[in-house]
Amino acid sequence: MEDLVLGLDTFGDIPADDSGMPVSHAAAIRQVVEEAVLADELGVDVIAVGEHHRPEYSISTPETVLAGIASRTSRIKLASGVTVLSSDDPVRVFQRFATVDAISRGRAQTILGRGSFTESFPLFGYDLSDYDLLFEEKLELFVKLLDEEPVTWSGTTRAALDNAEVFPKTESGRLDTWVGVGGSPQSLVRTARHGLPLMLAIIGGSPERFEPHIDLYRRAAEQFGTHPHPVGMHSPGFVADTDEEAKELYYPSYKVIRDRIGALRGWPPVRRAEFDAEVEHGSMYIGAPETVARKIARTITALGVGRFDMIYSAGDQPASARMRTVELFGAKVAPMVRDILAG
């Protein structure tokens, strides 16, 4: 697969320092920049950073961090993963990413979504009862902005625009834009209707269960007469020198953050047996380079996706271990995946 994209994704989790203590939010942001610089040097295709407004995560404005990464890298694609469009303003999102695109010489990519957390809604004065309407209307406006022509638009979630020009324009004439989807059929069809590439969040269970979702997206694109772009996916993972080391580095931090979030959502605490089963059969890509590469290749083949981003941070793993997982992914996992698929 010549056009296969292999990337890394982080939520800006707060890692531990050499003494085992969590670092500051500021240090965590700087850590992500260093990880992205290493990924660029090793040939990783894309680095995606998520938007969150919770104490466990350091990045609330992905485009600001991406602008910093842009100034220290030369080739890696710079993506959000995702930008919570529902609680932001589409015009400002476009302007900020168009600015990153200028700084990076065309490497910016925004992945728009509704987000899996809801803290941004009350923070910015939005009513959760408008959850679906906010995204529907704002995505509609954002798609108009992508043409980089004067925009006329009206809706109920922001002020109307009448023949409005939005600046800056991109040098290419179109900002690289995807939609991140958790799997709802309505979201898949909406993405196809707008003719945008699809990024699936596959964070648990057998990845093969998403085959019908990908098929629906492609059939919907055909019916709407839009372009059925190659589908992307992101899933959690972690790479170390051995399978056992990877699991032991990942699990304790993962359990803490998973149980903390699960308590808010009515989930029972995760058990080690469930984690091990997910690593073996589900959507966690954790282990030595060959183990992770073979599993990624199997998933890409099974689903026919054109992009795989590995979410490589979960809680307070040591910063040194996170740098090692970036190093192993870029130097060993990504080349192995390409070799397996070419064989």
Q: Could you give the residue ranges of the DSSP H alpha helices within 177-227?
A: 185-193, 211-224
- Digitized pLDDT (tens) for each residue of the chain, 343 residues in all: 569 999 999 999 999 998 999 999 999 999 999 999 999 999 999 999 999 999 999 999 999 999 999 999 999 999 999 999 999 999 999 999 999 999 999 999 999 999 889 999 999 999 999 999 999 999 999 999 999 999 999 999 999 999 999 999 999 999 999 999 998 999 999 999 999 999 999 999 999 999 999 999 999 999 999 988 989 999 999 999 999 999 999 999 999 999 999 998 999 999 999 999 999 999 999 999 999 999 999 999 999 999 999 999 999 999 999 999 999 999 999 999 999 999 8
Phi and psi at residue 306, to the nearest 5°: -105, 0
| Contact of 51 with 62, CB cutoff 8 Å | yes
DSSP string, 129-152: GGHHHHHHHHHHHHHHHTT-S-EE
Structure tokens belonging to residue 341: 């698929």
Can you tell me the distance from the alpha carbon of 17 to that of 28, in angstroms, rounded to the nearest whole number?
A: 10
E strand segments, the chain: 5-10, 46-49, 77-80, 83-84, 108-113, 151-153, 161-164, 176-181, 198-201, 232-239, 285-287, 307-311
Q: How far, in Å, CA of 237 to CA of 258, rounded?
A: 14
Distance CA 223, CA 221 (A): 5
Residue with tokens 């399978």: 243
Q: Which two tokens stand for residue 329?
A: 């992914």
At 316 the three-state DSSP class reads coil
What pTM did the predictor assign? Answer: 0.97
